[in-house]
Structure formats: C-alpha cells, structure tokens
Amino acid sequence: MRSAVTVSLTASAVLAGGLFAGQAHAATPAPSITAPGGFVMNNGTGTTLYGKAADTRRSTGSTTKIMTAKVVLSQPNLNLDAKVTIQKAYSDYIVAKNASSARLIVGDKVTVRQLLYGLMLPSGCDAAYALADKFGSGTTRDARVKSFIGKMNDEARRLGLRNTHFDSFDGIGSGQNYSTPRDLTKIASSAMKNSTFRTVVKTKSTSQKVTTKSGGYRYMLWTNTNKLLSTYSGAIGVKTGSGPQAKYCLVFAATRGTKTVIGTVLGAPSEANRAADVKKLLDYGFTR
C-alpha cells in the first residue's frame, strides 16, 4: 500500500513539475524591438524562434553583400588566391555613389579572398564591384555586372525565396533591391555553411598584403563594421547594412554551447536601436 502511494505521489510530482516548467517557459515574453522587421531562428534545426513582419519586403542596404559573397563562393573551381586588378571604374563608382569603401587602389592586384574581406568587413562597394566584374559573364563590364546580379537572383530562387530580389551587387540599387527578415536569415544560414565565409564574417579586423601596380606591396587594414563581434558573447557574424531607405539593418549570428541562433533586423531607426534590438533577440533566442 505504501509503495502504491509513493508511486502515485511521484507521478503527481512529475506531472506538476512538467506543468510548472511549461508555465515558466511560456512566461518568457517575446521582446519588443524598434525595428519594423525582425526574424530569429535556430540555425541547427531551422525552427523559428521569433518573427515580426518577417515576410514583409524591405530595402536591405549592404546586407545584400551576403548574397554577393555567397555567389562568389559557389563558383565552380573557385581559386581564392586568383588576383584581380583594381580598375578605375571601381573607385569612380564609390565617388559617384558616395558609397562605403575598402579603399582599394587602382592598379593593385588583390586576391579574391582579400576582396571578400574588403567586401564584408569595411563593407566595400568597390570590392563588391570588383567581384561582380570578375565573376560575371560577358565581353563588357556592364554585361558582366548584369550577369552577376542575375546569378544572385538565381541563387535566391534556388533557395526558394519568393520575397527577395536584387538589382545591385552591393545594395545600392534602383528601388528593386529588397528582401525580408526571414529570407535574409535563410541566405545567411546557407552562406554560413561555407568555411571561408564563416572565417571572414567573424573576423574583427585584418591586415592584408596586396601587390601594387609597380610590383611592390602595401598592407590594407580593414575593420569589421559589425560591432556585435566585440559586444556580444559568442557572436560569429554576419553583416551590417544601412542607407536612407534601409535605415539600420543587421544579419546576426551567435553560438553558445552547441546552439547557434541566427537572425535579421531590418529598418531600425538608429545604430543604437539596432544594437539593442539584436541583443534582445539573441538573448531571447537562447532561452527558447
């Protein structure tokens, strides 16, 4: 009789414990963020952890460059040490667009790997142009750039992303460069499967030795615009973005233990708001 009572009490305790645990889990409120769009998922399982207007199309700013890098890294027989000569057109573009720059110097020979650092750390639109020119197809620069942007859209379709379209290699488009928090997160999640991409986007700063036009060399010093790498424990990437239409954006990822949380905020009203939003979303993601 005593044994039966014990079993009954134990069962009741287990049920009660499960009930209370469920209540405690449910009591964790979803955070309120200032950005109009946000999305977070478990990178290992693909499970959605948070969404706010997750499928609403918005301007993406330089988070576009995640796809730029992904297309480059998906090229068959890619040689990361192949050298690209920096053209005057790339620097002219930076000046004309008042765009973020890796400060590439005309005539220098820079490797594809180095261009990826220049693309993702200082968010160099000149590096993006160089990569589009290198990996697009065609007999003219304009044709090669158009071809490369086509590859970006082909990749978006391959990933099944219906709310993403690119009209530029760097996010400076003509109004038809858009994505959503969910789509950008999926692009980044796919890109993070590439070891070179992971290495680049988690790098806080780098010094790269490049060959000058005269055959000498110089060092290019690049610092990552993603301050999350220095302010959030476990941060491993991914890419900032900003602009008049895009406002302040960030595709972010962090790992703690065996869990990686990855997500996106689009359209935050300020850099400080963006940082606060991302911290809230990561903290919340790690509790789910």
Q: At what angle do helices 125-135 and 65-73 cross, to 10 degrees?
A: 30
User: Domains plus CATH for the chain?
Assistant: 37-287 (3.40.710.10)
| 175 pLDDT tier (thresholds 50, 70, 90) | confident
| 26 pLDDT tier (thresholds 50, 70, 90) | low
The DSSP bridge partners found for residue 155 are none
pLDDT per residue over 70-80, tens digit each?
A: 999 999 999 99
**What does pLDDT average to over the chain?**
92
Parallel/antiparallel/unpaired status of strands 58-59 and 48-52 = unpaired
Q: What pLDDT is recorded for position 173?
A: 84
pLDDT per residue over 40-84, tens digit each?
A: 999 999 999 999 999 999 999 999 999 999 999 999 999 999 999
Q: What pLDDT is recorded for position 28?
A: 80
pLDDT per residue over 196-247, tens digit each?
A: 999 999 999 999 999 999 999 999 999 999 999 999 999 999 999 999 999 9
Residue ranges with strand state E in the chain: 37-42, 48-52, 58-59, 83-85, 109-111, 178-179, 205-211, 217-223, 235-243, 247-256, 259-268
Give 254's contacts (C-beta < 8 A, 6+ positions apart).
228, 232, 233, 234, 235, 236, 260, 261, 282, 286
| 275 pLDDT tier (thresholds 50, 70, 90) | very high
- Smallest CA-to-CA distance from 132 within 105, 172, 160 is with 172
Give 216's contacts (C-beta < 8 A, 6+ positions apart).
none
The percent of residues in the chain predicted with pLDDT above 90, rounded, is: 88
Residues 65 and 170: beta-carbon distance below 8 Å: yes
User: Which residues are annotated as catalytic?
Assistant: 62, 65, 123
Structure tokens, 13:
């305790």
Integer Cα distance of 181 and 191 in angstroms:
15
| 20 pLDDT tier (thresholds 50, 70, 90) | very low
Terminal CA-CA length for the chain = 42
Averaged over 133-138, what is the pLDDT? Answer: 98
The percent of residues in the chain predicted with pLDDT above 70, rounded, is: 91
Bigger pLDDT: 12 vs 272: 272
Averaged over 184-188, what is the pLDDT? Answer: 98
The angle at the Cα of 222, spanning 104 to 90, to the nearest 5 degrees, equals 20
Q: Does residue 93 have a pLDDT over 70? A: yes
Integer Cα distance of 226 and 42 in angstroms:
21
| 174 pLDDT tier (thresholds 50, 70, 90) | confident
Is 279 labelled as part of a ligand binding site? no
